[in-house]
Chains A and B, each alone.
Chain A
């Protein structure tokens, strides 16, 4: 592995906030239904996770109400 790659400090709050729209945009471009991906992967994401457009997400990332219901 390349040990000499450039590293810097970018993790200030502004950068982080800038990343959130990217995640939201990626979620918006849902091209493959999660269930179809599970079938083709042969590996279930499990009850608590979803795979959408390649993103592996907590179910409550998308459905906060569901997580509340689960808690109840």
Chain B
């Protein structure tokens, strides 16, 4: 059943549920559906409505005090039913073996569970995301024979919009009671602070109710999960699960850096289209860098974007025919000429406690303190960007597939690196068997609170070198199976 909490406030408090799932993105909906399959009574809560509204979205307004970041608000987070599945691009991949190894350069432990444990639900997760049977493993390309790089494996979801695809099922479900316009505003712990007894939920008419369940799952997104835990400080100073001060720390993105451009030197090779290139384990270990992939995209007519779009296009159209002039013009405004290939990237960021979500003193419409992001990169991240760029360029030249012109900041440490993200918010409630280094245990349970669990990429201890949604769904299925077996 699907109801509006603005109109059905009393009904949410009538029943006692087995599991209360807060958040309706891929993690929340997947957890709820799987638990319903197990016959559990589920309360599913969404703070926004069934479509975008400014009133709901404004609750995500946050402050940024770190690196420039575009994905704190609407561009990166959608606060309505279906969550960020409403605007994701659909690229799916799986973590490599090496992503589950502890790499000691960050000083923090890696995943406390194995790749096999995560991938156990892979087939089902791929069905959920409409990529059944897709082979996602990197492959050695016979036309690009090198021990340093492989062709990155991935599949494109349509992309699956969770409200569109699963809304009817939720409406008709006998096991799921879903409410939208239902904002989680507080968490009530038992006196000994080891159990959640109820959560407080508000609608937009100023009414609040208390809902009771045996288990609670927060699946609100990588920034909001941390914000809710930090705000829940009335009973636990510093917030729930924050005994070691790790809530909100280790915020990670996948780095999006335009590392340069290239000219093709092997027409036959590039007739296949774009070439996604991922470092092999050998390469990662040899250089002590992170994972990721670079997409070499031959581009007949590069499109411009951003504030200087018109200027870039004017310069492209007028100067590219005379390369020396284009060269001079590019020193002023960077633009691509027809025939240039572009190089996109998704590069792993190492966990870094100084990169964090915390709270400001400003409060939202419900009285919760707003989030503050301080996104920081470490020396290892800069090294990963530079090594992947230079080594891939060398292999392109060595194999005579292309010649790469690297962006000036790749070659000059003193220059500012133009880095962005991919709207992947990870790590703020990281998984660790040792409570000193994380917020949740290997079953996604908040350390010290027996019936509070976290869903989504905020539990990732490391971000890996691929898009996170498939892993989020696999972990949600794993969490649901675990919860189904709890008394």
Binding site for B on A (CB under 8 A): 1-3, 5-11, 13, 15-16, 18-19, 21-23, 25-26, 28-29, 37, 40-43, 45-46, 48-49, 51, 53-58, 61
Contacts and interface: CB of A to CB of B under 8 A. Distances in A.
A46 B390 CA distance: 10
A51 to B, nearest CB: 6
A49 B263 contact: no
Nearest to A56: B393
Interface in B407-446: 407-408, 410-414, 422
Which of A2, A22, A41, A45 has the most C-beta atoms of chain B within 10 angstroms of its own C-beta?
A: A22
A9 B271 CA distance: 8
Interface in B295-338: 295, 298-301, 303, 323-324, 326-327, 337-338
Contacts of A13: 267
Q: Across the A-B interface, give the 3 residue pairs with the lowest CB-CB distance, nearest first.
A: A10-B300, A25-B323, A56-B393
B67 to A, nearest CB: 20
Interface residues of B, dominant DSSP: mixed
Nearest to A8: B300
Nearest to B270: A11
B405 A8 contact: no
Interface stretch (B32-40, B348-356, B396-404): B396-404
27 contacts: A1-B295, A1-B422, A5-B303, A10-B300, A11-B267, A11-B271, A13-B267, A15-B339, A18-B339, A19-B264, A22-B337, A23-B263, A25-B327, A40-B411, A41-B386, A42-B413, A43-B387, A43-B390, A45-B394, A54-B260, A54-B405, A54-B408, A54-B410, A54-B411, A55-B405, A58-B397, A61-B403
Interface of B: 89-91, 156, 260, 263-264, 267, 270-271, 273, 295, 298-301, 303, 323-324, 326-327, 337-339, 344, 346, 386-387, 390, 393-394, 396-398, 400, 403-408, 410-414, 422
Contacts, number: 111
Contact of A58 (B337, B386, B398, B412): B398
Given A23-B263, A55-B405, 9 more contacts: A3-B90, A5-B299, A11-B264, A11-B267, A13-B267, A18-B339, A21-B323, A22-B339, A61-B397
